[in-house]
């Protein structure tokens, strides 16, 4: 642990020195391009950005083991079997071929629901945002209903969803859309409407049409926000798919949530936790895929204002 804090300390120290050293240089190259970031500094940054998550992960595993061995009984007054050790979980779920197949099949169905749900969310959400971006009164007219949708608990409308979409996959996809649509709409809308006003003036001066303005100015400018929306919504779509599985279990398509519930009923806790781990891995994977996609699309021009 002390190694880690030392590394962080050094990184700060070096950054300070770099800033001081660069100052006189900058004054000399007034009209020159900004200098590329120092490689020494970014290498150190890489180290920190890898070490951080690894340390947190190790702390988490240690805490888990501690809760299993001691905390469950002495802190929570529960049987330790309710929270098996991480080693047991890996052994009984991922290293057991049978269980592994069940979990992976479940993961497949959950991903399927999340993927279709996300695709529908992206299409509907972006269309909604485009419509809302056209005039403030349109935005004001639609926004309250989005908030209402966002605030409605799935549980409360299970009967309605059931009667409209049935008890299987379609309803799970609906839950996905319902849970994940809000960030897409708000982020896209924010991106489309917060274009610099003098950039708009540029288009106004050349009599650009609404269509030209949308596709040559607003959409490209909104891409960073749109990808932020994608990333958040993708995570929510995974959650939506699993939440949907809690309520809509009909059909031959048992997702990871259903598989986990079956293990729980049979008191096979290690296998259930294995499902939990796989489900969160799916969420993390989806997040990173969209993060990478975003970097690929806008990384070459987008200048994040956040300090690194």
Partner 1 sequence: MAASTQGDMSAPTMVTQMTDSASAPALRFNGVSMVYPDGTHALRETTFDVRPGEFVTVVGPSGCGKSTLLKIASGLNKPTTGSVDVDRTKVGYVFQDATLLQWRTVQRNVELLAELQGMAKVERRQRAEETIRMVGLGGFESKYPKQLSGGMKMRASLARTLVLDPKVFLFDEPFGAVDEITRERLNDEVISLFGRERFAGLFITHSISEAVFLSTRVIVMSARPGRIVAEFAIPFDYPRAPELRFDPRFAELAGQISHELRGAHS
Give the integer Cα–Cα distance in Å for 244 and 179.
10
Q: Is 211 in the site for partner 1 (CB under 8 A)?
A: no
Give the integer Cα–Cα distance in Å for 160 and 134.
32
| Residue closest to 15 by CA, chosen among 53, 57, 43 | 43
Binding residue (CB under 8 A) for partner 1 from 137, 145, 211, 301: 301
Q: Is 34 in the site for partner 1 (CB under 8 A)?
A: yes
Residues 161-200 close enough to bind partner 1 by CB under 8 A: 196, 198-199
Q: Is 201 in the site for partner 1 (CB under 8 A)?
A: yes
Binding residue (CB under 8 A) for partner 1 from 212, 215, 267, 284: 212
Q: How far is the CB of 226 from partner 1 (least distance, A)?
A: 12
Q: Is 23 in the site for partner 1 (CB under 8 A)?
A: no
- 39 within 8 A of 14, measured Cβ to Cβ: no
Residues 237-296 close enough to bind partner 1 by CB under 8 A: none
With contacts defined by CB under 8 A, name the span among 50-58, 95-103, 136-144, 205-213 that binds partner 1. 205-213
With contacts defined by CB under 8 A, name the span among 3-11, 26-34, 62-70, 148-156 that binds partner 1. 26-34
How many Å separate Cα 147 from the centre of its chain?
20
Give the integer Cα–Cα distance in Å for 174 and 168.
10
Give the integer Cα–Cα distance in Å for 235 and 228.
11
# residues contacting partner 1 (CB under 8 A) = 28
Radius of gyration of the chain (CA): 25
Q: Is 33 in the site for partner 1 (CB under 8 A)?
A: yes
Query: 293 burial class (0-12, 13-18, 19+ CB within 10 angstroms)?
Result: middle
Q: How far apart are the first and last CA of the chain?
A: 23
Q: Is 220 in the site for partner 1 (CB under 8 A)?
A: yes
With contacts defined by CB under 8 A, name the span among 137-145, 163-171, 183-191, 297-305 that binds partner 1. 297-305
Residues 55-114 close enough to bind partner 1 by CB under 8 A: none
- Under the rule (CB under 8 A), what is the footprint of partner 1? 29-34, 196, 198-199, 201-208, 212, 216-217, 220-221, 223, 298, 300-303
């Amino acid at each position: 642990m002390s190694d880690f804090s030392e590394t962080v300390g050094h990184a700060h120290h070096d950054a300070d020195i770099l800033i001081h050293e660069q100052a006189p240089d900058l004054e000399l190259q007034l009209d020159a391009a900004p200098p590329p970031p120092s490689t020494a500094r970014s290498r150190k940054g890489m180290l920190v950005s890898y070490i951080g998550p690894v340390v947190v992960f190790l702390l988490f595993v240690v805490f888990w083991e501690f809760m299993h061995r001691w905390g469950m009984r002495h802190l929570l007054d529960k049987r330790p079997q309710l929270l098996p050790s991480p080693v047991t979980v890996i052994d009984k779920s991922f290293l057991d071929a049978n269980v592994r197949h069940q979990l992976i099949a479940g993961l497949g169905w959950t991903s399927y629901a999340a993927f279709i749900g996300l695709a529908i969310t992206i299409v509907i959400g972006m269309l909604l945002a485009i419509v809302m971006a056209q005039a403030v009164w349109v935005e004001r007219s639609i926004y309250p209903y989005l908030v209402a949708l966002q605030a409605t608990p799935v549980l409360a409308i299970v009967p309605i969803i059931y009667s409209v979409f049935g008890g299987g996959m379609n309803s799970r996809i609906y839950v996905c859309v319902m849970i994940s649509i809000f960030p897409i709409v708000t982020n896209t809308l924010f991106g489309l409407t917060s274009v610099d006003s003098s950039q708009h003036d540029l288009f106004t001066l050349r009599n650009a049409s609404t269509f030209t303005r949308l596709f040559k100015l607003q959409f490209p400018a909104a891409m960073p926000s749109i990808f932020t929306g994608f990333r958040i919504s993708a995570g929510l779509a995974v959650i939506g798919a699993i939440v949907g599985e809690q309520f809509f279990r009909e059909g031959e398509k048992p997702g990871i949530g259903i598989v986990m519930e079956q293990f729980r009923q049979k008191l096979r806790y290690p296998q259930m936790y294995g499902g939990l781990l796989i489900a969160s891995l799916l969420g993390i994977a989806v997040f990173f895929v969209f993060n990478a996609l975003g970097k690929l699309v806008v990384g070459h021009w987008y200048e994040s204002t956040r300090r690194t």
